Structure 1
């Protein structure tokens, strides 16, 4: 069978979210499937680098049309057809919402991460709102032969908001990299603290700096802590309205105890998780929420939000808080820091919970969906 995969998201310089998902899914699909032929499509008129994926049954199909003209042509002229551009494929795997135009005979497997743009439009720029309107996510969902939802929460959102039949939606949770399951020694923790000039004891957050991640609540909560020794370390790339987060930090009475690291290379993340006392992820809405699972795999206790898919992700292996109540978050952090027994219990539960999320399992489930079409 000839399988196409849209890899336009892999042109990003810094991977997070959808790009990390797409890279890991493709890499693991190619590891387990040597029978099908894969054709990886991307288009850009600018210089771009995508992963090579050195497997015998894969070809990269690169095109260099101006993106705006290419997207608008597909949207309004219904040309070109991507499956025809890449030599004809039986199925196209679409890892996120994109401008798309395909032949009727080409089957579509669409991955839906979340519908945050429908539920929380205030978290998106005017440009991004227009982009979502033009791609018409509702239409993409209805035209797909199979939808892969990354969580039950996302599945329910698709059913409720787009009136899509439950029979064509399959839930397949994403995995986490094997990097997070490696054995981490005390000297590794000391090394990472020295590299980033970190205090011995810190609370950790990793994720993009944007309103949806609710860093405002975390910074406010940190100022309320009874524990005046612990530090807060925030890692992640700068996204929409990140300057507002920096302004809040600069005006915080505990700003000297808060450190921003910026975007962190994947290789360093397990050590930063493992060296932290607690990982806090107070996001308002997530399609799944991998950082809490990654932290659990590193043995670090997790506090996260009782909202969207996050309770589904962490189950009973983490502490859940109201993301709209920063005082509750502060109280929960204080209580956990003062309870070594609970820290130990959550660490053990988290390790067990994280083992349920591997990319090998996710890839096998999606390959089964593809082969059954």
Structure 2
């Protein structure tokens, strides 16, 4: 078993540990002057220990066994999404969590991201690098993503549902989809967005009334903030305006650790989760934010290298799926805090507070390491 660690990528592990250390300090700072939130160091350490155990367990586990079991994993994941919609607990306006003993919560959609990546990789790997066919591949792959997408939308959790689409796009790309299908997809997406914006602005009042009747008024407010910032209500613009002000106040080197003002004055809601990047910008400035993004870049770069040198199609595809998921989450989370992307509930990977998110991301990184460590090992010997 120990011989497998000869191919262990130490740089990835070091970056993950640095993320954990950085996250601990940031979450502590974000919750220091928030009377509603109490930073629990013991719980944080437990989550980190469990995440590291999951990481090393995934490293030693042969990923090809998961690829073979992907249809069953997909069915299990869909069952969990249905179950949490019917029997889960509600947080932040979405019914998407199971309450576990010990005060821990489990969010099935986080696990399903990884399941979806494995399922799509297994499906596309059958083509062995050949171009995807429309009826045999492109449409069935779209249906595989559409089912969980709809189940998550009705929770309602639009942010995580969009991540499924980012994974789909990444898997289409690595699956060598034909250019004609790409152009067709672009036309459909652009046309759909134009139609959506036209209908949203033309029938704004009826749409607002409908969503408010379904207790989804915050969706309309977030769209307004991005599409019509001048007409959006002050409440809807509150977080984005203060996030940009807080990041801007950090300047080049930041105001210093624990010296932020906007965060500690409770101007930024849930700063320890979705808005953790605001803490980075305010307290460590442009330099700190750039170093964080550089760490993400190195992590993604190392993952892509592993994908390129993998001898197995499914292994390469899994890594690209994980890269697609992480890149979109990073871009969306940072983008919404500086006003260039719509406001969603997407967290910053490895940095935002959240047990399920961290655990699944560490499992994903363990899966990447498993691909590197088992690539040259026959399945029956693993």
| TM-score between both structures, scaled by the size of structure 1 | 0.22
| TM-score between both structures, scaled by the size of structure 2 | 0.22
